[in-house]
Amino acid sequence: MNPATTITLALTGASGMPYALRLLESLLEADRTVYLLYSQAAQIVAKQELGLNFPSSSRDLQLQLRERYTHLTGSLKVFGREEWFAPIASGSGAADAMVVCPCTMGTLAAIATGMSDNLIERAADVMLKEQRKLILVPREMPFSAIHLENMLKLARLGTVILPANPGFYHHPKTVQDVVDFVVARILDHLGVPHQLMARWGEADI
């Protein structure tokens, strides 16, 4: 698998914002270029789960996050939901891969049906039509038959459905250890090296 050097990261309104911010940090630490998208619901979740105020202006959020991660070498560009001239809105400017983390069932359904009503959905649609890697990280339970049918439809198109379901065989001691388990699996599928946790067989379990 060729490692992804440009990654679109979309944040939606499902619970699980710690996964998203840890993933963003890890990608920038690995010197990747990240195109960040976020929904209005994601702003609410970021405030509720992490106490972070994501401004509605994509330019303001870009400044805020660049200041937060100023010590990291990767490149970050934030786009609003209606910025249709963003490169990721077209196959000619598509990123190497896209991750929706966390992914709501509404976003998943919209992607499965090709809605493309906003830049998050359009960027995912571009990934599918260009046959590039698309990873969806749903955080929902239980799944309804509709959810499962939509996931199966996308899986058959090559989408990686990677639920935020951490394992415990590595004996996590903190919440951060639990978060890192899921983020490590996402990074593995992107071909991005990391030191978040040992792979199976590399250390005593």
Domain ranges across the chain:
6-190
The token pair at 144 is 């309804």
Please state, in angstroms and as integers, the Cα–Cα distance from residue 5 to each residue in 27, 61, 66, 79, 101, following that order.
9, 22, 18, 18, 18
CB 54 within 8 A of CB 24: no
**Annotated binding residues for FMN:** 13-15, 39, 104-107, 139
**Annotated binding residues:** 13-15, 39, 104-107, 139, 169, 185
Fold of the domain spanning 6-190:
Rossmann fold (3.40.50)
Dist. CA 20–CA 17, nearest whole Å: 5
Q: Give me the pLDDT at residue 204, please.
A: 53
Dist. CA 97–CA 69, nearest whole Å: 21
Q: Give me the pLDDT at residue 202, please.
A: 76
Q: Roughly how many angstroms between the first and final C-alpha of the chain, as a whole number?
A: 27
**Annotated binding residues for dimethylallyl phosphate:** 169, 185
Residues facing residue 78 across a β-bridge = 36
| Average confidence (pLDDT) per 10 residues, the chain, 205 residues | 92 98 98 98 98 97 97 97 96 97 98 97 98 97 98 98 94 96 97 90 63
Q: Give me the pLDDT at residue 203, please.
A: 62
Q: What global pTM score does this model have?
A: 0.96
Q: Give me the pLDDT at residue 199, please.
A: 81
What is the SS3 assignment for 160? strand
